[in-house]
Amino acid sequence: MIQQLSDRLRFLQAFVAHPRQVGAVLPTSRRAVRDMLDLADLPGAGLVVELGAGTGVQTEEILARLKPGARLISMEIDPRLARLLAERYDDPRLQVVCDSAEKLPEHLHGATADVVVCALPFTSLPPTLRRRILDMLPLAVGRRGAAVVIQYSPLIEPELRKRFPSVRRRLSVMNVPPAFLFACSHEEQGPAR
């Protein structure tokens, strides 16, 4: 409870310092995080990437679902938040990278991810940066992998559909505001549950 309150405060401070970069005043709710991660096969993944880790709500739940020996690369552009994540999660599977998401290929060293979990605030990022990250996403996801994306509006959906043959959408109402969840992959899948 105390950690949750201090995380909310840190998140708010990050928002006040860089509102368009953070894009929200509160971290994502646990329920929305679970709804989002249910859209991908995390227990079966060998390599997972998280973009825009914030105070770690997704990081913690991803680690709880990952098998021993799997790897998680969590990218966060804000040095304070990246430091918090690295200090908090003492897990050999986790690599915290303080860098912009567009630089992901440099950190993948030619590998592709089984799952990319993306919580970047696409609609408030500068258009050129947004395009560079969106163009990089399908290349970072393996043929049988998936990118799961959380947004507070459906505006990004056409951009995702341009880049992935399969995009499933669902709404998670247990979040302030309700969250749009997208599961994007190179292979056609059934509808989101």
Residues that bind ligand SAM (CB under 6 A): 21-24, 27-28, 51-54, 57-58, 75-78, 81, 100-101, 119-121
HEC readout, 73-142: EEECCCHHHHHHHHHHCCCCCEEEECCCHHHHHHHHCCCCEEEEEECCCHHHCCHHHHHHHHHHHHHHEE
For residues 158, 60, 103, 167, the Cα torsion angle rounded to the nearest 10 degrees is -20
Smallest separation, CB 1 to ligand SAM (Å)? 17
Smallest separation, CB 62 to ligand SAM (Å)? 10
Q: What is the DSSP letter of 27?
A: P
Smallest separation, CB 93 to ligand SAM (Å)? 18
Q: Which residues, in sequence order, are bridge partners of residue 181?
A: 150, 170
Choose between 126 and 165: whose C-beta lies nearer to ligand SAM: 126
Smallest separation, CB 140 to ligand SAM (Å)? 13
**How many CB atoms are closer than 10 A to CB 66?**
22
Smallest separation, CB 52 to ligand SAM (Å)? 3
Residues of 71-110 as b/e, b for ≥16 C-beta within 10 angstroms? bbbbbbbbeebbebbbebbeeebbebbbebbbebeeebee
Choose between 154 and 165: whose C-beta lies nearer to ligand SAM: 154
Choose between 123 and 144: whose C-beta lies nearer to ligand SAM: 123
Choose between 71 and 107: whose C-beta lies nearer to ligand SAM: 107
Choose between 98 and 111: whose C-beta lies nearer to ligand SAM: 98
